[in-house]
Amino acid sequence: MRAPVETTTAPPDAKDASSRGLISSVISDAQRLVGLEIALAKQEAKELATGNAIAAGLMAFGGVLILLAVLVAAPSLVITLVPWKWQAAVVWVAGYLLLGLVLVLVGKARMQMRLPPRTVESLKENKEWALRRVKSNGR
């Protein structure tokens, strides 16, 4: 006759403790991940705001130059009535207009209204990680 074989099964309390530990680990990881995502979003928002502030400054300066060109255009019309002096006034106004237009266009080109790409990509990766972790733990 054979000796009885003792099976080693964990008591139900041990399985519950293991599950609770796993759940707390997932929650802790998720909390840390959310904190890191928030920090990344703040950093990208700061970078985007800085770039947009420079672009807005260029656009504002270009607008001021355009305004100056208009303000110079009025006296230049008077100068046009005087022979041979109108050419200098037209060149001056054209220079202001051209410089102002260039600054506005450069500022507009640098202005960016978009979502922070690294944060969006990181959020996608974290979603996939969390889904894989939940699926592997829920076997």
Q: Which two tokens stand for residue 53?
A: 């502030």
Phi-psi region of 126 (alpha: psi -120 to 50; beta: other; left: phi over 0): alpha
- d(CA 112, CA 48) in angstroms, rounded, equals 7
Angle at 96 between CA 78 and CA 111, to 5 degrees: 145
Helices assigned H by DSSP within the chain: 12-80, 86-110, 117-137
Q: What is the pLDDT of residues 79-132, one digit of tens each?
A: 766 666 767 777 777 888 998 999 999 999 988 888 888 888 888 888 888 888
Question: What are the sequence ranges of the domains in the chain?
Answer: 19-137
- d(CA 139, CA 130) in angstroms, rounded, equals 15
User: Could you tell me the pTM of the whole model?
Assistant: 0.49
Q: What is the pLDDT of residues 7-66, one digit of tens each?
A: 555 555 666 667 788 888 888 888 998 899 999 999 999 999 999 999 999 999 999 999
